[in-house]
Structure formats: structure tokens, C-alpha cells
Amino acid sequence: GRLFVNRVFHISAEKMFNLLFSDSSFTRRFMDIRKITGITATPWKKEASGCMKRTLNYTITINNPLVGKFSTATETQTLYKESREGQYYMIDSEVYTHDVPYHDYFYTQNRYCIIRNSKHKCRLRIYTDVKYKKQPWGLVKSFITKNSWSGLEDYFRHLEAELLDEEAELTQGSGDA
């Protein structure tokens, strides 16, 4: 896998969790810029295992000339029971893109860790892996992996930039930046 984001933000852990994992205006705006449309999300629901889960469905816009312009996607997010409100959050998200070539071979697993650093700061880590459900032919596998990494890198670099903008807005005028 790869670590795409690993940085301390001047945003509390709780605020970061809410920005990324609730129906926040930050997420709505970011999805808008990424041309991710038709988003539906179930509420967080506690499982027998003690974890919380929710499922998102949406349509992504793809700018890879090898692939169609749009794909529907399903994302299942798991908030681990070891998470502690305001302190530490670990979320795994599995993303299935249903309308891209070889979609039945692979999915993407993203792991988000939000760790409290101080009252107003947290560290965000986003770790990503491309997973295979079926073993494709070697050339196909490297093709899928290469195209997935480039799309993921672009997405998470953009997310990090938008979070830095959000941080600047939040700390502006608060006097403790």
C-alpha cells in the first residue's frame, strides 16, 4: 500500500472526523469540485462487533482517457470500536467502482487515522491499498494498479490541499494559530 497523507493539521481530531465523515459542507464542496454526484449515505449504525458502519453510493467523474467518463461507486466505511471520541479515530473504507474495466477484479481500501495531537491539533494519515478479489493476468494487474495509483494520488493530493485551505479558514482570526 501507500501512505498518501501524513500531516499535522491545526484542526481538532473531533472536527477532522466531522469534516471527513459526516454530511459536512466541506465534504459537499469537495465532492462538488471532484464532480462526484448523486451521493447517498446511510447513517452510522452500530454492528454486533461493536464497530460502526455506513455505506455511501455515488457517481464519480473520471479523467482517465482509457476509461469511460463516469462510474457508479459504493463505499463502505467502518469506524473501529477502538476509536475514542476526540482522541483517536480509525476508519477503513472499501471502495468498489462498478463501471470501470475489470471492475470485478479489484477494489480500493483506504485507511484513515485521525490522532489527537493537542486540543486544537490532530495528525491525519491516509493509507491506501489496491486489493484483488480475483487474480488477473499479470499485465492486466499492473495496468489496473498503475491506473488506480495515479487516480488515487490525484484525489488525495487534492483532498490534502483542500484541508489546508479549510485549516487556514478555521485558524484565521481565532488568535491561536
Interacting residue ranges for ligand YK8, rule: CB under 6 A: 60, 62, 64, 66-67, 73, 75, 95, 97, 100-102, 108, 110, 143-144, 147-148, 151-152, 155
Nearer CB in complex with ligand YK8: 116/151: 151
CA distance linking residue 6 with residue 72, whole number of Å: 28
| Residue 177 · residue 171 · CB < 8 Å | yes
Nearer CB in complex with ligand YK8: 12/147: 147
Crossing angle between the packed helical segments 25-33 and 138-171, to the nearest 10 degrees: 130
Nearer CB in complex with ligand YK8: 67/115: 67
Least distance from ligand YK8 to the Cβ atom of residue 42, Å: 15
Write the DSSP assignment of 42-91 as a string of letters. PPPEE-TTS-EEEEEEEEEE---TTS-SEEEEEEEEEE-TT-BTTTEEEE
Nearer CB in complex with ligand YK8: 75/166: 75
Least distance from ligand YK8 to the Cβ atom of residue 177, Å: 29
CA distance linking residue 72 with residue 100, whole number of Å: 9
Least distance from ligand YK8 to the Cβ atom of residue 155, Å: 4
* Neighbouring residues of 28: CB distance < 8 A, sequence distance ≥ 6: none
Q: Which residue is nearest to ligand YK8 (CB)?
A: 151
Least distance from ligand YK8 to the Cβ atom of residue 145, Å: 9
CA 155 to chain centroid: 9
Least distance from ligand YK8 to the Cβ atom of residue 147, Å: 4
Nearer CB in complex with ligand YK8: 72/117: 72
